[in-house]
Amino acid sequence: MPEMTAQEAAEWGKTLSFEKVWAAFTETDRKFAETAEYSAKVDAKIDRLTETVDKMARRVDRVTANVGGLNLSMGELVETLFAPHLGEKFDAYQYNLRRTFGRVPLYDDTNRLRGEIDILLSNTTVCMAVEIKRRLDKTDQIDEHVKRMRLIHQYPPAEAKGKTLLGAIAAAAVNPDVREYAERSGFFVLELMGEDVRLLEPPHGFKPKEW
């Protein structure tokens, strides 16, 4: 955008009034307040998630002391919060996803590891690849899952071969704009609520993408 000359700036300044300037400041303050409120809610939710994960970690420590050899990473602990009864969240779509597999590797035709599915849900005809995030707040996360879905389609694991492939993303905190982007990309979006997970209602006319 070209810079204004001093004369142009002076003429532009004549068009301003106190009311216009005050309205602009008020709108800016409102947007800052909304952003701050959303960030505070996300931070509080992450704190609650961290507290829940810490509790689970302490349980794991107690089990490890008893049986030995059990070693779950923070990522695996977060995923365990989503996995129980996750398939049931899609019952309204008549998918009946009762088989659950965690950390499913993706190998290409040369047996080279190309990626991993956090959670794979399936029945006899449909499977759903679920990506787990602590925060869903960047569209890049959606683009990465799109690439992962293409890999699954190209190199399906045994449980996914010959089945309709769908995708979903679950997170402890979901940014509304990124959620909208995910749904436009054909993904279901789920959000953690305490120790349960809720399938967020898709927009009217939503149709999950089949990969």
Residues 185-199: what's their mean pLDDT? Answer: 86
Supply the pLDDT for residue 3. Answer: 59
Quickly count helices (H) and strands (E) in the chain: 5, 6
Query: Of 15-19, 91-95, 143-147, 167-171, which range is least confident?
Result: 15-19
Distance CA 47, CA 75 (A): 16
Q: Which two tokens mark 127?
A: 């499977």
What percent of the chain is modeled with pLDDT above 90?
40
pLDDT of 89 > 60? The answer is: yes
Supply the pLDDT for residue 129. Answer: 96
pLDDT of 58 > 60? The answer is: no
Q: What DSSP string describes 11-36?
A: HHHHT--HHHHHHHHHHHHHHHHHHH
Between 85 and 203, name the one with better pLDDT: 203
Supply the pLDDT for residue 187. Answer: 97
Query: Of 29-38, 45-54, 58-67, which range is least confident?
Result: 58-67
Supply the pLDDT for residue 29. Answer: 61
Nearest to 119 by CA among 58, 71, 188, 56: 188
Nearest to 128 by CA among 147, 152, 144, 92: 152
Supply the pLDDT for residue 68. Answer: 42
pLDDT of 53 > 60? The answer is: no
pLDDT, mean over the chain: 78
Between 8 and 70, name the one with better pLDDT: 8
pLDDT of 167 > 90? The answer is: yes
> What is the CATH topology of the domain spanning 74-199?
Trna Endonuclease; Chain: A, domain 1 (3.40.1350)
Give residue 51's Cα distance to chain centre: 20
